[in-house]
């Protein structure tokens, strides 16, 4: 007879006691999640059951920004999701009132997202340029912070999925540079130029999007490191972005468009596939891109306006292409026809060799404001015919001038004793103690005694500005180029007073 306990499967003889079995442990009863969280609603657990520990419900910080297809936010009906970031989600939506499609940028309910929303809304509201995405509205709808902007057909990142022509790359490069020139003139650094933030339209329009991480330029300040690492400038990686940082990122984007190869650290020229880049791009433009992509910040262009002038000198055809009809047969607007006619008639005599950073209209370095859009932030640093510029208004001055004749600034500290020679000098200072004859047209003050000068009259410009009484082209201009007054508004006021 075997000692010990018999296995349960072995036969048992008569008269022997049946071995007792241990009770089989009952498995814990796993209740539904709702019953585990609220046992009183589920009737509690049965006696002897061990309730399972409920799994924590994970909630992302962007739950407030999550929408589904068909959801309606105010007057916008969500159609599909375009992309998402850390605190934002972008949707394609349909405006049921205006019957147009828009981009709906929804921010998460997070303290950082709230500050980003306010910052981006204020920046976008200040920017109004054909190459910058237009902000339609910024509001809080049903507890969600929403930015509504234009909707492009696709991004540059989508377009680069297949090879593109060099002409396409130069066109995108030039349009983005025009938008950056306007933003830099407003004192704004984008800080995140990349293909995903460049939007394209079927009619050839190119616009810059996503100013969420942009900021106003402040000298000698350290900021948070932002931007996409692959397109980030070296100084931006240390939290010290400059205007030239945007130019560095744009140069990398252009190089990637042409060669389909993104340059990598340490950004030493020549980059990979340099032979292909040289064979596709004109030599003059190669020199511009090389300077913009320089590792050393001091070797790059100061801002986008300076670089834009260099690009126009490298490829003058870009100015004509910007005003010519597009491939799809788009006709010139009446404003473009008017600018072209004025440039043809008065371009050489008035020296219309420059372009406004906002509207692209022809301007002269003597004009204090753009006569087409009234923009007064055009800078002529390093591109004008004068040897120096005023530190306040950034307009040209000669080295022997004591005061700036354009902005009535303080007296210059360093004044050359060598008299300046300029064929455009003429006129007479009204100050009897000065009587200087070396004056230029449309000066506001004498550069030697700072006396107020009389209004200038020209035979070419037959109209008179009601504000500053200088000569203006009333048949063409909407604003006075010398004082920035709205000529249409001033005419309307005068007509009402006469009536």
- What are the catalytic residues? 192
Report residue 269: phi and psi, to 5°.
-80, 135
User: Which tokens belong to 433?
Assistant: 């103690």
Beta bridge partners of 486: 479
DSSP class of residue 110 equals S
Report the C-alpha gap between 127 and 139 in whole angstroms. 18
Report the C-alpha gap between 462 and 472 in whole angstroms. 7
The residues, ordered by sequence, that sit 6+ positions from 354 with a Cβ below 8 Å of its Cβ are: 309, 362, 363, 364, 365, 378, 380, 383
The count of other CB atoms within 10 Å of the CB of residue 141 is: 15
* DSSP class per residue in 418-466: SPP--TT-B---S-TTT----B-TT-SB-TTT-PBPPPP--SS--EE-T
User: Which tokens belong to 83?
Assistant: 């992309």
Q: Name the one residue in this structure whose structure tokens are 């020199």.
A: 287
What sign has the CA pseudo-torsion 358, 361, 362, 366? negative
| 215: enclosing H helix or E strand | strand 215-216
- Calculate the CA 168 to chain-centre distance: 20
Report the C-alpha gap between 152 and 161 in whole angstroms. 17
The count of other CB atoms within 10 Å of the CB of residue 86 is: 11
- Calculate the CA 461 to chain-centre distance: 36
Report the C-alpha gap between 18 and 5 in whole angstroms. 10
Q: Name the one residue in this structure whose structure tokens are 């991480």.
A: 213
Report residue 195: phi and psi, to 5°.
-60, -35
Report the C-alpha gap between 160 and 9 in whole angstroms. 73
Report the C-alpha gap between 311 and 433 in whole angstroms. 46
CB 275 within 8 A of CB 258: no
User: Which tokens belong to 49?
Assistant: 């059951």
Closest CA to 110 of 84, 86, 78: 86
CB 135 within 8 A of CB 126: no
């Amino acid at each position: 007879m075997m000692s010990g306990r018999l296995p349960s499967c072995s036969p048992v003889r008569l008269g022997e006691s049946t071995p007792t079995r241990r009770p089989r442990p009952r498995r814990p009863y796993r209740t539904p999640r709702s019953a585990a969280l609220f046992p009183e609603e589920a009737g509690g657990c049965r006696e002897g059951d061990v309730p399972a520990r409920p799994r924590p419900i994970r909630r992302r910080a962007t739950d407030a920004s999550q929408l589904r297809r068909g959801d309606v936010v105010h007057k916008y009906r969500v159609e599909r999701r375009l992309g998402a970031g850390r605190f934002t989600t972008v949707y394609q939506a349909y405006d049921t009132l205006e019957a147009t499609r828009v981009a709906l940028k929804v921010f998460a309910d997070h303290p950082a997202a709230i500050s980003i929303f306010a910052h981006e809304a204020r920046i976008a509201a200040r920017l109004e340029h054909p190459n910058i995405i237009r902000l339609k509205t910024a509001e809080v709808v049903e507890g969600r912070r929403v930015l509504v902007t234009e909707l492009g057909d696709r991004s540059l990142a989508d377009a680069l999925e297949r090879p593109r022509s060099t002409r396409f790359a130069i066109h995108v490069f030039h349009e983005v540079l025009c938008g950056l020139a306007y933003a830099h003139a407003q004192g704004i650094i984008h800080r995140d130029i990349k293909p995903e933030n460049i939007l394209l339209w079927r009619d050839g329009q190119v616009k810059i999007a996503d100013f969420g991480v942009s900021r106003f330029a402040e000298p000698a300040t350290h900021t948070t490191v932002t931007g996409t690492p692959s397109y980030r400038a070296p100084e931006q990686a240390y939290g010290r972005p400059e205007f030239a940082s945007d130019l560095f990122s744009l140069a990398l984007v252009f190089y990637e468009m042409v060669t389909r190869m993104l340059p990598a650290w340490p950004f030493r020229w020549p980059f990979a596939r340099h032979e292909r880049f040289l064979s596709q791009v004109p030599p003059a433009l190669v020199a511009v891109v090389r300077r913009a992509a320089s590792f050393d910040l001091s070797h790059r262009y100061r801002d986008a306006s300076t670089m834009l002038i260099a690009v126009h000198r490298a490829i003058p055809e870009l100015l004509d292409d910007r005003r010519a009809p597009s491939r799809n047969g788009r006709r010139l607007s009446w404003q473009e026809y008017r600018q072209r006619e004025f440039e043809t008639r008065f371009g050489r005599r008035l020296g219309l060799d420059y372009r406004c950073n906002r509207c692209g209209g022809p301007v002269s370095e003597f004009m204090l404001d753009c006569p087409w859009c009234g923009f007064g932030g055009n800078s002529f640093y390093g591109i004008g015919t004068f040897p120096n510029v005023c530190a306040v208004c950034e307009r040209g001055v000669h080295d022997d001038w004591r005061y700036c004749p354009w902005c009535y600034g303080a007296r210059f500290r360093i004044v050359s004793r060598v008299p300046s020679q300029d064929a455009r000098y003429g006129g007479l200072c009204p100050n009897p103690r000065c009587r200087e004859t070396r004056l230029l047209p449309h000066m506001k003050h004498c550069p030697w005694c700072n006396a107020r000068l009389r209004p200038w009259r020209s035979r070419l410009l037959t109209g008179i500005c009601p504000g500053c009484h200088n000569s203006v082209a009333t048949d063409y201009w909407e604003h006075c180029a010398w004082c920035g007054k709205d000529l249409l508004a001033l005419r309307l006021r005068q007509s009402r007073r006469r009536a």
